[in-house]
Structure 1
Amino acid sequence: MRALLLPAGLLLVAAAPIPSTPDLGKAEGQCRANESGPAFLVNPVGMKDRTGNLKIEVYPATKKDFLQDDNILVMEGKTFSRVEVPASSSTPICIRVPRAGTYAVSVLHDRDKNRKFGWKVDGIGFSSNPKLGWGKPNVKHVATRAGSSPTSIDVVMNYRSGLGVAPLKR
C-alpha cells in the first residue's frame, strides 16, 4: 500500500490492486444447497445450443457500475457476483446477492469458452430482457429486483442476427 499526505494533513491510502482472475465474484455468487437467502434463479431462454459455458454476473444497477470491470467493483467494495457453469447444466442457475434490492444481471453463452463475448459466436442476455442495439443496454432497462428469498428471472438470449444481435427466430 502507498500513503500520500495531502494538504490539510489528510492521509490517503491507496490499496494495492486486486489481481485479475476469472474467479473474482465466484465465492460471492455461489449458492448453498437449498438456498433460502437473496438470490436470482436465472433461466436462460432461447439458447442456440448447449455447447460451451454460461457465465452469469450480477452488478449494481447504476450507470457507472453496470458492466464495470470486476476488479474495480471489488476494489471499491461494490456488489459483484459471478457463476460459471457448463451450458449443458440444468436450469435455473442460482446466483446469490448480498441483500434484497435492485441489481443488473448479465448472462453470457460463451460457446467458444474463451471467457469473453464474441458477437459472431456467443449469445448474450440481460435481466428485464431489453432490446439490444450496438452498445450495452441502458441500466434502467436491465435493473431487476431481488427479494429476500430466491427470485426467478427469465433471460432471453440474443445471438448474431445480420449486423446486430437479437433473439433467435424459432
Structure 2
Amino acid sequence: MKLLYLTAAITAPLLLAAQYIPSSPDLGKDEGRCRGGEAGPAIQVAVTGLKDRKGKLKLEVYPSNDIDFLEDDNKLLMAGKTFRRVEVSVPSSGTPQLCIRVPSAGSYSLSLLHDRDANRKFGLSVDGIGFSSNPKLGWSKPKSAATRISATSGITNTTIIMNYRRGLTSFRPLKR
C-alpha cells in the first residue's frame, strides 16, 4: 500500500506537468499548415477588403460553439479541442489566399487578423479583423453560429471580408 501512495505522489506532478502546453505564437501552426497538393479536409480562404499591404495575416480555426470560439489556444489544445493557425506576410499584390487544414469534415469558426504592425496582438485602432461567414461586427465578439462554416472532406472555399475600426461605434468593411 505504501508503494501505491509513493507511486501516486511521484507520478501526479509529472502528469500535471505533461498537461501544460507552454504558450507560443506557433501553437497550432504545424497542424494548420496545408501541404503541397493538399487534398483536405482544409479550408481555402480568399481575403478581400484589406486596408493596405503591411504586416501579417493570421488565420485561426476554432470549434464552432460559443464556449470555445476565440478561447485561449493553450486551453483548447490542453483540452484536446480543435485549434489551428496559419500566419503569412501580406502579399504585395493580388487577393491573398490562405489554406488551413481542419481535423475532419464538420463545422468550424474562423477568425482572421490583419496584424498591420506585425506585433502578434490585436490593436483596436490599427488592425483589421474578419470572420468566416462575414457577420456584421459591433464591439463584442460575434456568436459562433454567425461565423460557422461547414468544411467538407476536400477543400472548402470561402471569402473573408476584412473589417476595420470606423469611428467610435463599430468595425466595418472599408468603403471603396
**Does the TM-score normalized on the shorter chain lie above 0.5?**
yes
Post-superposition offset of 1:16: 3.6
SS at match of 1:3: helix
Q: 2:6: which partner in 1?
A: none
Q: Distance in 2 between matches of 1:97 and 1:22?
A: 19
1:124-152 superposed Cα distances (whole Å, 9 cap, x missing partner): 00000000010100111001101111111
Q: CA deviation at 1:37?
A: 1.3
Deviation for aligned residue 1:3: 2.9
In the other structure, the counterpart of 1:63 is 66
SS in 2 for 1:121: coil
- Per-residue CA deviation, residues 27-68 of structure 1 (Å, 9 max, x unaligned), is 010101011111110111111111000000000001110000
What is the TM-score normalised by the length of structure 2?
0.88
Given the alignment, which residue of 104, 108, 117 partners 1:112?
A: 117
Equivalent residue number for residue 161 of structure 1? 166
In the alignment, is the contact (CA less than 8 A) between 2:108 and 2:149 conserved in 1?
yes
- Greater share of strand: 1
Distance in 2 between the 1:80 and 1:143 partners? 15
The aligned counterpart of 1:137 is 142
Rg: which structure is higher? 2
Shift of 1:116: 1.1
Q: Give yes or no for the alignment of 1:3 onto 2:12.
A: yes
Number of positions where the alignment pairs a residue of Structure 1 with one of Structure 2: 162
Structure 1 regions of 5+ residues with no counterpart?
5-12
Residue 47 of structure 1: aligned partner: 50
Name the % identity.
59
Cα distance in 2, alignment partners of residues 30 and 22 from structure 1: 14
Give the TM-score normalised by the residue count of structure 1.
0.91
